[in-house]
Structures are given as structure tokens and as C-alpha cells.
Structure 1
Amino acid sequence: MKEGREVIIAKAGTPVARPVPITSEKPERYPGSAKGQITIALDFNAPLPEAILKEFEE
């Protein structure tokens, strides 16, 4: 792979994986780039209704 050759991992003759090189490049981030696109409900921190809480307990 490092030399540019492709490697295919197979099981019983059927390809199952193709490893790819890890890139260390991280996409650039722009603080505030989603401004105006996201809204948070006023009751975001309100307790959940009992019916929903029971679903988590089962």
C-alpha cells in the first residue's frame, strides 16, 4: 500500500476489505459556521414525560 499497490483482503475468494492509508489532514473548522442554522427548543432542559422515562427503564 505504501508503494501505491492496492491490497484486497478476501475470505474464501470473496473480497471483504480494502485497507486505505490514514491521512493526518484534518478538515478546517470555522467557529460559528452553523450560526442561524441550529435552534434549541426553549424546553430543552425540561424533564421528560413519565411515559418516555419508563421506556428507558425497561
Structure 2
Amino acid sequence: MNEHTRSGKAMSVTAEEAEARIGELLRRAEAGERIEITRDGKPVVELAAAGVGAPRRRIRGAMKGEIWIAPDFDELGPEWDEYLK
């Protein structure tokens, strides 16, 4: 097993190793590790916890019209006067 989890890379296991150690690999994936499964030395599948994967691409302006900020949001009320002295 080729483990590179500390450097941020996926741990690499062969398909045969994955079959033999699926329980352990599932636990590690659930804990946040990424496991790359290889066949003939080439990556085939990446095992990761559900919901973990490539970050969604952000689209500028996607929330336009859905977010509102009050004009006085950064004004402090009188209850803050003693802290601002």
C-alpha cells in the first residue's frame, strides 16, 4: 500500500488490496481520507466519503437579488458606547 495521506495526496492501493481490505478502507474514507484504487499501476477509482470531492465551482453573481444587507448593518447601537471609549 502506497500511503501519501500526510502530504494531501490520496492513499494508493491496488484493486486486489482494496477487495481484501474494503472494511478498513471504508472507515478511512469516512474519516476524511481519499483512497485511490489502481489496476495495472493506473488510477481507476477514488474512494472518498459521500459529499467529499471536487469543490463546486463558484459563479459570481449567482445569489444576486437573494441577499439583502441593511444600510445600517455596520452601525453600532448605544449598548456598545462603553466599549468604544
Q: What's the TM-score once normalised by structure 1's chain length?
A: 0.49
Higher strand share: 2
Q: What's the TM-score once normalised by structure 2's chain length?
A: 0.37
